[in-house]
Structure 1
């Protein structure tokens, strides 16, 4: 029986809650993964300029036979583009590689000390006004910078950030929800560490599921959260899809809430100050 894909819908976007993350897939593997995911029923694909796979993502979409308007496509502009003009040039190149007239969500991938925030956000808004990005947002912004971005009042729709059962992002969610924004969780399985947690394994046994599925189901239980786990194989893509069938009860949610929530797995040298940035 087919799984019904839940959707997050706000005034600014309509996003399937489970998507396919494509980092760090490249070449033919990436194209096959995109085609395969779309054949299984995925309708949300996530890529980025920095991933070096936009052409393969676009080829996978084109080869899938799924109508472009049925697919929610996100791409992200790398952090070395500090202003609206640089973002526009990079986005033009991204659209060419993706071979699509628009993306559904365009994000600034990471903040940098050189970022001219107001100008960059106005650049995103201008691209949206042209219809080439249906929604805009940011990625890897810490709370203080996220508030500044929201205060710029350009109609941001989403924040993409590391989020999983081992990392507390409630502060960011407390900012996003009142602003009418959604959170897209990357690394939702904590770089493979979440399924190793005995508590998640115990809950998985109770539901006849895998610990990875429980980790994804926990995110699905959070208001305003979507996720983009990377999955190259059809087996893993199906496993992730089947997480949609799991409903965790109050006891499960309490047990997962009690897990340590201070484990960050994506923290490059150029990352912002997560607590104070």
Structure 2
């Protein structure tokens, strides 16, 4: 009997599972806090599968699972999964073989893929966890879906200072629409009242602009025009996607968002082909 295989990415917030049924890929997402439920779901749906596992909480799952588990390097798995998705979606001809991967999860990690090799370029503590934390501090909201809804209806730019605001009496040397200071418009804050929607919208804009700047600067240094954005933070968050796409294009690069991109790590673990780590 053929052995069943699973790819599992156990992240700090969510666990992503990929598997195949015939010619089709299936995707499932569960909170990592419910790690016992993840293990139970796998045991109840598969008969003694081989599990290829990755992610920051992979060690925790390994301790709980009685099934065969093979751990895969997280960065290698993520980049392999992104490349596979680009090929499947017919996008590799547009990105080229050299592209950046900006993975926005709880925090943000940036990678450079060059053919069959990869290198982690850097990262930031600004990510989905920042969205949840700052939204809670500013508004008291801690439900992710509610935060998304509120943020889509706000005017966060009113809390910021733009380049155009600074160069108010002359032509600015760069686009006046660029943000010069997130949450920097203190004088306006003192004079006006702002809603929950406005505060969360401003947080979303700050996160989007920050992670875009990192990815674009890395792309410039490594001479590629393509930045692929992935991560569960983008799931159902069109506002964040729009900010990042617009800001990436304003900086002269091309932004790509992959369907099922948040499953890149799990897909790469499933495939387990083994990208080579590049020496830049």
Q: TM-score if structure 2 supplies the norm length?
A: 0.28
Higher strand fraction (1 or 2): 2
Q: Which has the higher contact order (CA 8 A, sep 6+)?
A: 2
Larger Rg: 2
